Copies of this chain bind each other. A is one copy, B any other.
Amino acid sequence: MAIRFSDAVNAIKHSDTGDILKLIAQPDMISFAGGLPAEESFPAEEIRKAAEVVLDGDAGKALQYGPSLGYEPLRESIAKRMNRIVKTNFTKDNILVTCGSQQGLDMLCRLFCNKGDTVLVEKPSYLGAITAFNLSGVNYVEIPGDGKGMIISELRKALETHTVRLIYVVTDFQNPTGITWSRERRQEFMDVVDEFEVPVIEDNPYGELRYEGEYLPSLNTFDTKGLVCSLGTFSKTFAPGFRLGWIAANPLFIEKCDLLKQNMDLSTAPFSQRICEAWLQNFDFDAHVQKIIKLYKSRRDAMLQAIDEFFPKEVSHTYPEGGLFIWCTLPEHLKSRDILKQCIERKVAFVPGEAFFTSEGNTNFFRLNYSCNDEATIRDGIKRIADVLKANLNK
């Protein structure tokens, strides 16, 4: 067949991540590779009741087509919660409900970027964002961080030398590094961004899952020009199986996103949105989040403790105050892919770091997830990785 696919589809790189995922899908494998929420955290019984509330109410409307912006009461609930947690000043007019954050990434890149445009990202950055942006055929500038957020002098230099159409950052417990930007850095960042007037995606999927310290304000609160588009999701605090996320931004951006949404898939499922809203109205979201925090904090602590106990001192790691990930740095001569191969033989797995960069090289990093395994398994798995690391360092 002589079919020609689009440039966007032809540019999707064959990644060996799929092959790795197959390898680590063995039942006796300890996997720190994924980023899934723990299934035991899903409020299944409450969801059953919420579904009953929806079907006992206006079932006809819940099962019919709905507005492309989303279900209005849910949009209001999202705005109110953001205002409380990350100190924004939103109403429903700032909110569009998406099929998960991933759709928000695709949608916002389609909103701001033509093929060949430049997107500025953190170094490293979230893999799923990079692959979503790739569909629009964009190029990248990577800006490194210093443990407190993006390095502002590097950001300024990049904005002075490139026509940047979009900036993408994860300020809270970043995927993959687990790092959180300081309040001061948020302010400095927005000062520069507002000067250059570039739209920003602030992706915040784990923000509520903070295990110590205080919630920090959204970049929106430092933004004087309405440039920040925040992405949120119910996947980590409710359940990913509903595919419910949102874009929070100024009403002009939301209006444009609404046009995109109408043409992309009409709307996010009204039935799912109404169940989520019924759950928010009838159950205690705060208490539920506290339960998840308790579960994951204990797992994070177990992993950090095991790393400190077993990992050789040549391997450094980040200290996440929340979220799902720890980022490890090997001495430069070690390749995390080689280490992974040996680890898989010992039935333990992680994600090599290269996938989180848009530049070549960067072969000596890996990401660990701690949300999906209990404490004993975490300790066992980290010990196995440590043994492989030691064997390679002593070669």
Query: A residues touching B (Cβ–Cβ < 8 Å)?
Result: 1-9, 12, 36-37, 39-40, 42, 44-45, 47-48, 51-52, 55, 59-66, 98-100, 102-103, 106, 110-115, 128, 131-132, 134-136, 165, 197, 199, 225-227, 235, 239-243, 252, 256, 259-260, 262-272
Contacts and interface: CB of A to CB of B under 8 A. Distances in A.
A263 B39 contact: no
A47 B63 contact: yes
Given A99-B99, A106-B265, A265-B103, A241 B5 contact: no
Given A44-B55, A243-B266, A269-B272, 12 more contacts: A2-B197, A3-B112, A7-B114, A9-B110, A40-B60, A44-B59, A64-B241, A99-B99, A135-B260, A241-B269, A243-B268, A243-B270
A136 B2 CA distance: 21
A271 B241 contact: yes
Contacts of A52: 48
Given A4-B165, A132-B263, A265-B103, A270 B256 contact: no
A114 B165 contact: no
20 contacts: A1-B225, A1-B227, A5-B256, A6-B136, A8-B114, A9-B260, A39-B60, A44-B55, A51-B51, A51-B55, A65-B241, A99-B268, A99-B269, A102-B266, A103-B265, A106-B265, A132-B263, A241-B271, A243-B270, A271-B272
Q: Chain A interface secondary structure, helix, strand, loop or mixed? A: helix
Copies of this chain in the oligomer: 2
A9 B259 contact: yes
A64 B44 contact: no
A90 to B, nearest CB: 18
A6 B1 CA distance: 33
Contacts of A45: 55
Contact of A226 (B1, B47, B131): B1
Contacts of A47: 55, 59, 63
Contact of A36 (B42, B64, B136): B64
Nearest to A52: B48
A47 to B, nearest CB: 7
B3 A265 contact: no
Could you say which of A51, A256, A263 has the most chain B C-beta atoms within 10 Å of its C-beta? A263
B6 A112 contact: yes
